Structure 1
């Protein structure tokens, strides 16, 4: 299983953003729903690696959240309340969110201490997060439009630039490379969580 533990960064100096985030995450498919666990923190249990990874990357890149991903077994049957869950994945998620608070990527993944695959996934996720965060606004915009299904020609038309300029923006943002890496990470994360 995959447990996400998400902690609001700088919560003592800003308003509580947990309730708004809970509303945003309401439609996500989970094994146990996102739920406030304590103060400025929330947690959920997921089976889908692409969903977990997408949420973790999005929140970490916002700069508002530290995200811990714990991968491993959970004690079953799971209680109805997410915050009452236990097992290795919950322990790893706690360790990961604490590490994420000190990480420039704002996210960490922890799995079995003997799993080098978990360490590789952690490093890969952090690298992807940092690469995506450091994209220029034009590169990120071209990537979002490409992800929405537009062709490079259509993106160029909508932005009033040439197809070559679109290609340059995608290239400078390492769009294709990062997307391929994310697909591999999601596959490996899914396999590790089984």
Structure 2
């Protein structure tokens, strides 16, 4: 299982953002495969959700972590491992090694002054460090994007995330045709030229992110699978 814990940064200065971020998270995760327990407030200005260790769950965890990092007001911790069963109705009442790992991860991420305050922890520390390194890299790349770059990406993904990512990242004739069509639609929506859209996407390193995301999701899935294989009979409480 994968536990995602996020703690608000600078809450004493900016007020409680938990209700706002919970609305965002519920909208992004509602109806998506991989969600086990929806995001909820745990204590103070912290939110937490539980996802399964399937490819869908790993992809959802990745998407959610990057969305929180983009917001810029959250420190993110991912904990991978077993959970105590039966599961309660709310994430805040759940326990187990994955929750302990998530707690340690978010606390460790708080100590970083980087553009991507995120950490990943699991029993397999080396594998978790690999996922963390790539996740931090994606977060750092996104943090350096201009508003124009995000405008192009958001317009492109709103038209269909899967197709748009493939269209930008593949080189064969069919994908080139999809790319031309997608960028033409974005250009029309933004009132700019196709060349301008292409330049924005290149500067934003969107194709590079699109290529790395599946790698991170696959490594996170494998990490969760290793946790299931080594799951103890009774897990430790969080």
The reply to whether residue 45 of structure 1 matches residue 56 of structure 2 is no
Question: Shift of the alpha carbon at 1:25?
Answer: 2.6
Partner SS for 1:32: strand
Instruction: Output the TM-score relative to the length of structure 1.
Output: 0.91
* Residue ranges of structure 1 left out of the alignment (5+ in a row): none
Question: Could you list the per-position Cα deviations for residues 52-110 of structure 1 after superposition, in whole angstroms to 9, with x for gaps in the alignment?
Answer: 11111111221111111111111222233322222221111011111221231022111
* 1:87 maps to which of 93, 96, 110: 96
Gap change, CA 1:175 and 1:121, over 3 Å in 2: same
Structure of higher CA gyration radius: 2
Match of 2:134 in 1: 124
Match of 2:20 in 1: 20
The reply to whether residue 137 of structure 1 matches residue 135 of structure 2 is no
* 1:156 maps to which of 174, 187, 199: 187
Distance 1:156 1:32 in 2: 39
Gap change, CA 1:139 and 1:20, over 3 Å in 2: closer
Question: Shift of the alpha carbon at 1:26?
Answer: 3.0
Instruction: Output the TM-score relative to the length of structure 2.
Output: 0.75
Question: Shift of the alpha carbon at 1:31?
Answer: 1.4
Q: How many matched pairs?
A: 193
* 1:61 maps to which of 34, 56, 70: 70
Question: Could you list the per-position Cα deviations for residues 27-70 of structure 1 after superposition, in whole angstroms to 9, with x for gaps in the alignment?
Answer: 52531222221111121111211111111111122111111111
Partner SS for 2:26: coil
Partner SS for 1:26: helix
Distance 1:155 1:131 in 2: 22
Question: Shift of the alpha carbon at 1:11?
Answer: 1.0
RMSD: 1.7
Distance 2:140 2:17 in 1: 23
